[in-house]
Structure 1
Amino acid sequence: MQVKLLPTPEQASALEATLTACNEAATWVSSIAYEHGVMRNFGLRKLAYPQIRARWGLGAQAAQHVIKKTSDAYATLKANLRAGNLGKPGSKRYRKATGKPITFRPEGAQPYDDRMLSWQIAERRVSIWTLAGRIKDVRFTASVEQLATLALHRRGESDLVCRDGMWFLMAICEVPEQALNTEPADFLGIDLGIVNIATTSDGEILAGRRLNRIRARERTLRTKLQRKNTPSTRRRLKKRRRKEVRRARDINHKIAKHVVAEAERTGRGIALEDLRGIRERVRLGKPQRATVHSWAFAQLGGFIAYKARKAGVPVVHVDPAYTSRTCAECGHIDKANRVNQAWFACRSCGFVDHADRNGSRNIRARAWELWRRRAQSTAPASPRDPGARLDASAVPPPVTPAVQALRSSER
């Protein structure tokens, strides 16, 4: 739950000094961890805890959270290396990730537990620890629904975040899930696309063209401002840099909420395509790359998945192969069936329909078949060759204590 703080200038100054000190300490702990090859929480406490408290004046809980944040950052790096997300050992990207300690931005998020942060939800106030002492009357703003969720479901830590001069608290809330509907009446197929963000098997087309026009206008404006490159244009670019992301996120939230509500109302499950790796599989011309890489299909899928769990609606992911070429009426597969982006015309039975609606019906049918067979998914594995050999001319990464520690779990 994101809650916006409304600190006074004096309170904001204290929060900024605290956040900067915590992130400077985390960067120093990271250098110690890299030098000694110790990334675990308790090992780092022995090496860094007294120095953190003496050098930066952090409290006991703040110092422990700084160490834990550093340890978690290296754990995330290790997981990404193991999954191959940062390239193969010896590649330029791999060496860049493992060749130096992790650093933290001065405005990076800092976790707070209940000993450092207390909520007065009814008064819309928080009491928060800072280097200047505990500030007991920091105001925050929230809707009625947010206040109710905080009061009923807030658990554990909250992260203090500074973004574009605004202050936020990210509070962890554990909302209980409803019992899963194990006997859905049918499935609601969702075809995800760029022109039409989502098309349901009921024939409903959700968003699409308007968002794409806005994105094209934003890209054109950014190009003009970057080419001009004056102080005023740089200020304007900085002000608008997250506008498109916020708009796309808001639209995805609305689409996900509508889809889940419709499935819950009709007693159906939700069928989605598994589009992992699609950007690597598809070859595009330069004018199309910006459009495809701004396509937030994974975000929309994630929103639908967690809202569905909350509502008890089952979600099934299916293999999207040939869903756009297969006739939903007779099952005939032919590349020529797809007349253009918008229309589908079967060369066998003559069935004509909107192309995205035809694809969503195929997705629905595959999900229903999977559910009847109690299978999990027919989606292909992510395209990765773990047995591929490195080029003989590749320079191996330096074997530092940090690299040894990161590789230890892979041996």
Structure 2
Amino acid sequence: MHDIRALRDDPAGFDAALARRGLPPVADMLMRHDEVRRRALTRLQELQARRNALSKEIGQARRNGEGSAELEAGSVALKTEMEALQQQAETEDAWLLSALAELPNRLDPDVPDGRDETANLVVHERGVRREYGFEPKQHYELGEALGLMDFAAASKLSGSRFVVLRGGLARLERALGQFMLDLHVEEHGYVEHAVPLLVNEAAMYGTDKLPKFADQSFATTDGRWLIPTAEVPLTSLVAGEILPEKSLPRRVTALSACFRSEAGAAGRDTRGMLRQHQFMKVELVSVVAPEESAAEHERMTRAAETVLDRLELPYRRMLLCAGDTGFGAARTYDLEAWLPGQQAWREISSCSNTRDFQARRMNARLRRDAGGPPEFVHTLNGSGVAVGRVLIAVMETYQRDDGRIDVPEVLRPYLRGCEVIG
């Protein structure tokens, strides 16, 4: 959510910021509605003062035994006008709130310009791509050949974009989730949570998933939503709160199922597990003081990179350009893993600084120890990382020529010493 005062102070700058995302100018339209609302509120205050004065005059006239009918009629007329002004102010306020809720976050100045992912910048590349004495297969070829990845069974149960994992691959997926949780809790200072998979509309709105992405999420018949990511419940824990400065930063994590309708994804990644309606993900969320969010963004991204370092997976960090940065983010790093079977880099984690964009929507604030009025916190979220996608990367990276899959050394304790899947 945007601060209307920032729009009033610099409408040209507001339009210029949105133009970086390819949006047309909107400041003039917003300011016209804001001016109507403010005029109505100003007039409402004037009439309230006049009505208060009339009430005193009516009371004095009655005490003096004088007629007060004319004064009372004037008071009724004022009340009628005030009710109309109140309705006008509320209508304009609702319109402004709705319009602002549809506008994306302002980008950080160092976010590169560009229309799509082709303009993203490589920050660094880590790890060594393996050489194979055979043609590497894609994950679904490996999984189906082993009989441990079954898309047909999932389709019978739920339709397309679902998968059933069996045996060693089901265990490997579980091991990956447990390994990442342990790493983030024990080494990176995150507090593990188990969160609801169903949330209310307020939680979705506060984390900028509504109204913009309603068609990309699943709603229940009783008005709740299946979470598209654990970011929604984890971040919403501070909704409506005024947090003591000494309680920050707050770093929380959860391993959860996530649900996305994948609206608009027709024809994209139709084979395999890359784009599913249901998947597992370890989410990282930080709530910090405003001056700490840039450093926290680097810290969070490094925590996600550590997962890939420990698994010895080649990856690169990308700074997303203006056209590829998500709706609620001011700045985003994507981590992309190298998939030998695809011979391509694919996103495996996304870490974003939303600054105060979400905090304004959910009214999450902090109070400084030195006093003063509450101010909005900054919130950050990132994949730490997507379990299904890192499973794909492990399968393709650690494949053998006979189709079996080596278990990364760091995961073997979670699999009771198992070294090979197959």
Query: Which has the higher Rg, Structure 1 or Structure 2?
Result: 2
TM-score bracket, normalised by the shorter chain, equals under 0.3
Task: Provide the TM-score with structure 1 as the length reference.
Answer: 0.23
TM-score (norm 2): 0.23
